[in-house]
Structure formats: structure tokens, C-alpha cells
Structure 1
């Protein structure tokens, strides 16, 4: 099915021009109107019902496409983006893909078919790069927290490599030598970058690096712990994929009769609200999640000509928060 972007390409104009002409053809005259109408007819374009519903003067929407809105990290990102968007008279609409690549592509294509100024996107995998680049030809796209290889898209991210290195050094200074990294899915650039930081510090210390691929959930932490605690020489410290994974590790350690941090130390990533309230409280690396969303919204609006911002890649820093677990 043809999209508004297809019509824009065929007519040699911007999507917004197509949207305005198709919304009210009688208000336009001349060659541009003719090219747009002919392209729409040739491609058998049918306007999106959602786009038609929005054409009555409602504020434009800014889609935020994320892997899992049930993860409080992305809820904070959304809050930061919403604050900036609202100041420009726009509204954030959240699309949660469940980490499904087909759902990501479907959401991106559907959102690009709207007359939206920009899209904010956290990819779950690198494999969507080609589709994102195609959409970015007509709609401003800004990546949040994760990058896509061989693209020059604007991106707001944390220095995951440096953050993981700082967390690993903290565990080593506490006397640990069997330090394991339970990573997120390696299809995510953030997981790969954190593993790289961990591996560098372990190599510099002359210690073996051990990576167990997991995910960013409590269940993923429990599953990784079952494998780790069954080893003849279990780790004395674990660098977790994120705070949710760390909560799963803490629960599994308690079930196994292990004391944290005496028998095994656990260090998270994100500093979610839950980090302060688990027992023991969680040592973690604080991501400026709301700032990630806010800065991404600023760059997206600038790319769409609705604000100021010149950065292509904006890198923020994480902060080590020392509590009881490590």
C-alpha cells in the first residue's frame, strides 16, 4: 500500500506539501498541485484514517518508539521528551514494540505516514537501519540511547562503555576477582558497548572476562543467576544488564541462601526508583534518562525546523551511585 512518503518521492516534493494539497486540493493551483494529485492517483494512495482524523487542527504528534514501555527507564525517557514537546505545542505518543523488529518497522512506517514533524526511536536491533534511513529521508528521526551502524542519524546516548568500565573498576577495588557481566541482548548497541567497557577493565587487570548474555528484565536476571550460582566457582560480583536484571539477581541470590554483598556483589545500571527500595539497596550506574528524552526531543524538533540544536551525536555521562549491594 502506498504511503504519503511514496507520493512525495514520486512528485518530488516534501511530505508536508503532499499532506496540505491532499487535505484541501482546491486551495492550491499550479504544477506542484498537478504533480501531487497525479502521483497520488498513479500510486492509488489512500490517506491514513489516523492522518485524516488529525487534520482537523489537533496538535501534531511526536511518536516515541521504544522496545518496552513497562521498563521504567523508557517511562522516564518519555517524560523528558514530553516536557520539551509540550512546550512546542506537540504531544508525545508512545509506541511499545516488545523488542519485535517487525513491530518496529510497522510503527515507524505508520508514524511516518502521519504529518508528524519527527520520530524518536530506540532500536532493539541493528537490522532496522535500512528502513530507518529510508524514513529519515522524509521525516526527522532521532535515536535515543542506542545507535545504528553506518548511519549519520542524530542520536542522544550515554557513554555506556565508560559507565560499565567505572562499574567494573568499582567492583575490583572492593577486592573482587571473579567478576561476571550479565549483558543485555547483544543485538542492542548499548549492551555491546557496556560489555566492551567491562572487558577492557578486566583485561587491564589481567583477569578473565566472563560474559553471560541475558536481557533487561527481572526474569532475565533470575535465569542468568541460575546458571551462575550453579558453577563450581560462582562469581563473587556481577555487573548486571540493568536494574531490573539486578533485582532478579538479588532475588535469586536470596533464594540460594547467598548474602549480598558478602557472598556475591551486584551492580545495576539505570538507577530506577526500585534501586533504593530493594534489600539490600542497589549500587548502580545512574543514567540521565529524562535528559536523554528531553535532549532527543530538542534535536528532533531542530531537525524538523521547529527549534535549535546542532549536535549530531550528543553523549551524556552516567554516574556511579554506591549503596549496599556492591
Structure 2
């Protein structure tokens, strides 16, 4: 069961409040609620009525801490991006198979580090059996390594995390393979249009053009909003048409690629005859573009499954052992744009 947690400890009635309103000791109230030990029916009814009026709920986190067990894993992520849904589905599936529930916590996409610092105490108060972090924030990743000393913690990241358990997508190798593919198709002027969080792709691109002896055609950018990225792609597409020697291929994100295709169409540049376009991430719309977009896909369900399996390995075996980094490869989805 997927649970979104927003209620905090301050919102809930406590045993102390029940004790004060009934005039009974906390020990008596606790035994009455649990039905343990000798409690008269009159006393039990008094406690139940008070609990109902105060909307009292047992503190499952405290119970879990006392038993040193918990039946929940927590997932904390800093974006609402669609690819994360498949990861969450996989984690949930693994959790249900193991008899666990899954609590999902969102930080702020714009200020993930500060929001994380505020949210973390609430997450830990629920006393989860383990924690999965899906984030690009270096601050949060470092905290994840620290948390590993207290409870099982796995991060889903772009690069291996020193000292921490992680599942990472090898975007650098994916970008390298994309250039290699275009090179084998006869392309010799391969451009790279940068967008937000494309540093690993940039590394793979630069290494590939160096290995294959190709010129570097790098168009910098740091846009994050999909609409702005598409607009920039459209302008870049029109810009390519004015170059004395334009690229014969371009590698970029799917959002940028969608704008490029529109810009090329507006200026009469034919894809893939004049220029090949290769995207990154295999977004839902990639196959619907004109022409359908060749793109690199990351197996999001497998990523989530690997993260959950690694987490349960730690839950079952304790925190001993060297940190593990599980590498996930990207797959090239061939379509008509190349």
C-alpha cells in the first residue's frame, strides 16, 4: 500500500494526554488500550471513550523501536518526474512481496537540501526498516552515507556514492555509446546540446569524440523547465541552418530534441537525411514525434527493483559489509530520427 505521510507527531494525541484526561497513570492507560493485565471494564471503557474523543492513534514508530522491528520502508525523492513512478512501482512491488508497506516523502524540487533537513526528522520518527533516496542533491547524498550507520539506506543516483549503497545509471557510458552508434552510421560532425543535469552525458560525449577523432560541437545550456528546453531546441534548430558547416548529428535530451525537430522542419532541414537526432531518457512522447525519436532509455522499473533488493539485503543482513554500487546500463531505442 502506497502511503503519503503529512501528519506530524504534534497532530496526534499522546498517552500522556489520555492519562491527564482520565486521571489514570500512563501505565494503566497503556494496559487498557492493549488489553493486557487486569483492568476493570469500567476503567477500560473510560480509556476507550477518551481515546475516541481525542482521536488517539498508537505511535507505531515507538512500538517498532521497542521491538527493534518495522514493517515499513521509506522512499524520499525531490522531484515529481514521471520516470520515478516506475521506480516507485517496482519498490512497492518488492515491499509487498516481503510483507512491508511503503511510505513516500517528497522534498522541494527547487530547494531539496533545506526541505530534506526539515523532513528527515519526520521520516526517521516513523522508524522505517530502511530508506531509499532518489535525489541529485550532493548534500542529501552525503547525508545518506551518514544515515547508513543508523539504518539501511540506498540511493538511486547518476554516479556511485563513495561509502554508501547505491544504484546508479551509467549515463556517461550511454552517451559514449550514442556517439559510437552515430559514428558507425557515418556521422562525423556530432553536436551535443547541453541541458540541466547533463554533466555525465557531457563526459561520455567528450570522451567519445576524442576517441573517434571528431570535432567538438558543444552547445551549452542549463535550462530545467521542459517548455523552455523545447523552445531553446527550436531556436537551436533554426541556428543550425545558418551555420556554414552544420552538424550532421546531434545528441541531447528528449525535450530539447522535440524542439530541434520542430526547428529543423521550419527551416527545411530533413531528418535524418541532413542531420540525425538522438535523444536521452525515452520520454513517453519520443515515439510520437515526427520522425519518431531514436533515444537512450534507462530501465526505471529495474532501477527501482535493484534498489529495493539491495535495501532488503541490508535489512536482512544488518549494516555490516562493504557498500555496494549496482550499475545499470542504458538501452538504445532505435527509431526513424537516425
2-side partners of 1:245 and 1:113: how far apart?
A: 42
Stretches of structure 2 lacking an aligned partner (at least 5 in a row): 1-8, 10-29, 35-55, 65-69
Question: In the alignment, which of 202, 208, 212 is matched to residue 220 of structure 2?
Answer: 212
Instruction: Please give the residue correspondences for 1:1-326 in structure 2 after superposition, counting only pairs within 5 Å.
Output: 52=59, 60-69=71-80, 71-96=81-106, 97-101=108-112, 102-147=114-159, 151-186=162-197, 191-209=198-216, 210-215=218-223, 218-225=226-233, 226-227=235-236, 229-230=238-239, 232-233=242-243, 234-241=246-253, 243-305=254-316, 312-326=324-338
1:141-199 Cα shifts (integer Å, max 9, x gaps): 211132365x311111222222111111122223333322233434xxxx322211111
1-side partners of 2:157 and 2:221: how far apart?
A: 19
Moved over 6 A (4+): 53-57, 306-311
Could you tell me how far 1:246 is from its partner in structure 2? 3.0
Distance change (3 Å), C-alpha of 1:177 and 1:50? farther
Distance change (3 Å), C-alpha of 1:317 and 1:216? farther
Please report the TM-score for the alignment, with normalisation by the length of structure 1: 0.71
Work out the number of aligned pairs and report it. 276
Contact kept in structure 1, 2:293 and 2:335, CA below 8 Å = yes
1:98-139 Cα shifts (integer Å, max 9, x gaps): 253323443444322321112211222323344333333323
Contact kept in structure 1, 2:131 and 2:153, CA below 8 Å = yes
Stretches of structure 1 lacking an aligned partner (at least 5 in a row): 5-23, 28-48
Please report the TM-score for the alignment, with normalisation by the length of structure 2: 0.69
Contact kept in structure 1, 2:189 and 2:249, CA below 8 Å = yes
SS at match of 2:289: coil
Q: Could you say which structure has the larger radius of gyration?
A: 2
1-side partners of 2:318 and 2:149: how far apart?
A: 19
Contact kept in structure 1, 2:252 and 2:280, CA below 8 Å = yes
2-side partners of 1:51 and 1:117: how far apart?
A: 18
Question: For the aligned residues, what is the CA RMSD?
Answer: 3.6
Could you tell me how far 1:307 is from its partner in structure 2? 9.5
SS at match of 2:239: coil
